[in-house]
Amino acid sequence: MKLKIFINLNKGITALVMLALIAAYNQWQNPTAWIYLALHGTYGIHWVLKSLIYPDLAWEQETSIWFGIVSWIALALYWIPGWLLMSLAAHAPAGTLAYAYQFIFLGFSSTLPATFKNM
């Protein structure tokens, strides 16, 4: 299997994982939880779409199922901050949320030149 399948699966379900954490910890009224879901869920969708439209040759390599599973588990560690946020019912200050928007926008913008370079 191609490595991108494991990566895309992990990143593609991030929004669902965060939504499940919101439900599990009853964080429906927590704006920080929703913004976290929006930012990380959008990033995951962006990653999968970018992979489908502009495939990165680095992720096209064939890999063993075991390496793919280990890679998927390693990427799942990125869900820990979301779990902490939901389980601790954290509320970020407005300024922190504004910076989060800025950084995700910069992250999206910075992937485009690299994407076009690899075409």
Distances (CA, A) of 86 to 9, 19, 43, 104: 22, 10, 19, 20
Number of domains the chain contains: 1
Supply 25's token pair: 């910890």
Q: What's the pLDDT band for 119 if we cut at 50, 70, 90?
A: low
Enter the pTM of the model: 0.88
Place of tokens 């489908």: 52
Distance CA 17, CA 79 (A): 8
pLDDT of 86: 98
pLDDT number for residue 95: 95
Residue 2: helix, strand or coil by DSSP? strand
Distance CA 89, CA 71 (A): 29
- What domain range is 105 assigned to? 3-117
Query: What is the per-residue pLDDT for 114?
Result: 66
60-114: pLDDT as tens digits: 999 999 999 999 999 999 999 999 999 999 999 999 999 998 988 888 788 777 6
Check pLDDT > 70 for residue 117: no
Tell me: the pLDDT tens digits for 21-53? 999 999 999 999 999 999 999 999 999 998 998
